[in-house]
Structure formats: structure tokens, C-alpha cells
Amino acid sequence: MTTLMPQLTSRWTDQTNQNRRFLAVVITLVIVAVAPMFLQQFHVGLLTRIFFMGLLAMSLNVLVSLTRVLSLGHAGLFGVAAYVVAIGVTRWELPFLTAAAVALVVTGLVSMLFAVMIVRAQGVTFVMITVAQGMLLWGAAERWVSVTNGNNGIRGVRPPEFIQTANDFYWAAFAVVAVSVFALWRLHTSFLGTRLRGTGDSPTRMTSLGYSNAWHRFIAFTIAGLFAGVAGILYVGYFGFVSPTTLHVGNSVQVALAVILGGSALFLGPLLGTAVLLTARTWVVPVTDRWNLIVGALMIVTVLFLPNGLAGAFASAWAKLTRRIPRLAGRRSPDQNAPSAPAEPPGSSQPSGTPERPQH
């Protein structure tokens, strides 16, 4: 959707930073792990929600940043997992974890079915199909009353026995999300990730190299759906409740906003976007009912002025800073990674994120 910034990608693969980054990751993990001991209940809850909604956004980003398509039905797959768990626990009286396993299988199957429908679609057609898929699931949740309990939703989904307190759930969610994020990281850096990126960036070259674009789109969509399912299982465990609103297109839109707000080019951008959105929401909702209006306005601003999201804005601000004070950064200037373009005269240059500036 947006161009990958060369500075960002190269920084991630930069060998000299490996150790420093590893240390940073460990420290962050430790801080996040002990955090609930020092936080109020309310903030523990907020962080927990950021974990699983952030995972949902990151799973969508598999499609956005690798295969370069935007799904607006992603909350549907998330909701399928939540519903299967809810039905499994309340109706079939399965243990939570067993229901979760069933939910993952079902979500995987639905994702595969949906993936078959999108392998040939691009751009706007893709968006429309995913909207329709999301609405199909929403319609099922709302209308198929005998199974889903319709608009009343399903209540009373208890998490597994070993989770007693909010802090317990926090740690469980943290562990699941951390493992999932690590798996997604492996995907992004793997050869499979490179091929998925190829499908998004230069499908004709993929074909000429002998790879099937359709197959890779199928894989990407299925993986994205599975991780959305993981997020959905955490969701229903946390709230103990699921209703058609969970998989409504409006919810999918907010997930998409989290991705573009955070910045799809950065691996953790969607998590950042989710954190910003959910935190802002806790401030806004007590004050005014106009949350949707704010989401919309935020989205307009993001699309118009932050084509690479907050992460992109930070990155370019950082690049500007390091260019001005090279010794502060102590590293090579990011300019070296830019493709060799002709020297532009001052005043006629474009912002780097918007090469497609309109002419009319």
C-alpha cells in the first residue's frame, strides 16, 4: 500500500545492530512481563486489549505489507474464532483450550475458503470481496439465531481454569501474543516472506521466476486469517462475550486504521497504531459519544498526510535529525540506501512518501 522505506528495511537487516536489538527486545519483554505488578487494574486491562487487538492488526499487515492488498473483512475471521470458542464452551461444554483448538481449525478452513475467492483479485476488487466476506459472516452471526443467538450474542465464556485473575489473563495473552509476533517476524524475514513480498511488488517477475502468485496469495491470506483467529480466541476469553458487532465491517475498518495509522512498513507499526487508538479511545469515550467521528477524522488525516503512518513520520523525522547531526547517530546516513536518483534542485522535490502526487 505504501512504499517500504529503504532506511527502515535495511536497518532491520543490519548485522551490526543485531546484538543491540536483541538486548532491547529482551529488556522490553521483561518490562512488559512485570508491568501488571505495578499497574492499576484498568491499565492492565487496556494493555491486554492492546495485545490481542494489536495481534489482529499485525495479522492484517501480513496482507498489507507483504502482498499489498487491503482486507476490510478481517474482523470476520477474528469473529469466527470468537464465535466457535463461545459456542464450543457454552453449548458443547468443551474445555476452553479444546474449543480454542477447534476454533483455530475452523478459522483456518474458513480462511482457506475465502482465500480461494481472492487469489485473482487485486486492489479495489479485493477490498470489495473482503467486505462481502465480512458481511457474509456478520449476516450469519446476526441471522442464524438458532446457532449464534442473533443480536443478543453469546455470554458466559469462561477462560481456562488456570486463569483466575486479570493479571493471569494478562500474562497468558502476553505469552500467546509474544509467540505469535515472533512467528510473524520469522515469516517477514523468511524466504517465504520474500516471495510473498514479491507477489505484492512484482507479480510478473514472480511468474517469470516460476512461482505462482495465486498460491502465495492463498498462503498469505490463510496465515493472516489464522493469526486473526488467535486474536479472536483471546478476545472472547477476555470479554467472555461475543456478538455480531465483533465481526462487523466497522470493526474491520478500525483494524485497517490501526495498520495505516501505525505504519504498515514497520513490522510493529500496527501494534503501535492499535496502542494509540485504544488508549485514545479510553480518553475519548467518557467525554463524548463521537468516537466514530474521531476515528474517521484521524483516518482522513492519516491517509492525506501520513502515507507511511506514525512510524514513517518518526522515521523521516529521525532521518532528518541524523542528517543534520550525523555524529549523534554515529552511523551512515540513510541517504546511501536511496536509489540513485538525479540531483533534484531545491524547491522542486517531492515528499518521499508521495511519488504519486496528482497532476490535476
Partner 1 sequence: MSILLSSVLNGLSFAALLFLIAGGFTLLYGIMRLLNLAHGALYLWGAYLAAAVISGTGNYLLAVLVAGGVVGIATVIGGVGLFARVQGNELREVLLTIAVSLVLADAALAVWGGHPVGVQAPEFLRGAADFMPVAFPIYRLFLMGLALAVGFGLWYLIERTSVGALLRACVDNRAMLASLGVNVRRLYWFVWMAGGFLAGVAGLLGSIVFGIAPGVDVQILLLALVVVVLGGLGSLSGAALGSLVVGLSYSFATVYAPELLYFIIFGPMLILLVIRPQGLRGANA
Partner 2 sequence: MRLSVTSLAAQYGQGAALHDVSLEVAEGEVIGLIGRNGMGKTSTLRAVMRWPEPTVTAGRITVDGTDLTRGAAHRPARIGLGYVPQGRMIFGSLTVEENLSVLTRAFGRATVRAGLTRVWDLFPKLADIRNRRASVLSGGEQQMLAIGRALVGQPRILLLDEPSEGLAPSIVDELTGAIRNLANDGVGILLAEQNLTLAVSLTDRLLVLEQGRVVLARDSSGVDINDPTLRSHLGV
144 binds partner 1 (CB under 8 A): yes
**Amino acid identity for residue 114 in this structure:** F
Cβ at position 205, least distance to partner 2 in Å: 16
Cβ at position 346, least distance to partner 2 in Å: 10
348 binds partner 2 (CB under 8 A): yes
Among 72, 75, 234, 258, indicate the residue that binds partner 1 (CB under 8 A).
Answer: 72
Nearest 5 degrees, angle CA 201-CA 226-CA 70? 35
> Which residue pairs, CB below 8 angstroms and at least 24 apart, start in 189-193?
189/12, 189/13, 192/219, 193/66
Nearer to partner 1, 23 or 128 (CB): 128
Q: Give the interface segment with partner 2, choosing from 161-169, 183-191, 307-315, 336-344 (CB under 8 A).
A: 336-344
Q: How many residues bind partner 2 (CB under 8 A)?
A: 14
Among 211, 241, 250, 276, indicate the residue that binds partner 1 (CB under 8 A).
Answer: 250
Subset of residues 146 to 185 that bind partner 1, contact rule: CB under 8 A: 146
Nearer to partner 1, 122 or 165 (CB): 122
CB environment 43-80: b (16+ within 10 A), e (fewer):
ebbbbbbbbbbbbbbbbbbbbbbbbbbbbbbbbbbbbb
Q: Which helix (H) or strand (E) holds 17?
A: none
Q: Which does 253 bind (CB under 5 to 8 A by kind): partner 2, partner 1, none?
A: partner 1
Mapping DSSP to helix (H, G, I), strand (E, B) and coil, where does residue 242 land? strand
The one-character DSSP state at 69 is -
Cβ at position 8, least distance to partner 2 in Å: 16
Which residues are 154's β-sheet partners? 242
Dihedral sign, Cα of residue 203, residue 270, residue 263, residue 1: positive
CA-wise closest residue to 89 among 172, 156, 143: 156
Q: Which does 210 bind (CB under 5 to 8 A by kind): partner 2, partner 1, none?
A: none
Interaction site with partner 1 (CB under 8 A): 1, 70, 72, 116-117, 120-121, 123-125, 127-129, 131-133, 135-136, 138-140, 142-146, 248-250, 253, 256, 260, 289-293, 295-297, 299-300, 303-304, 307, 356, 358, 360
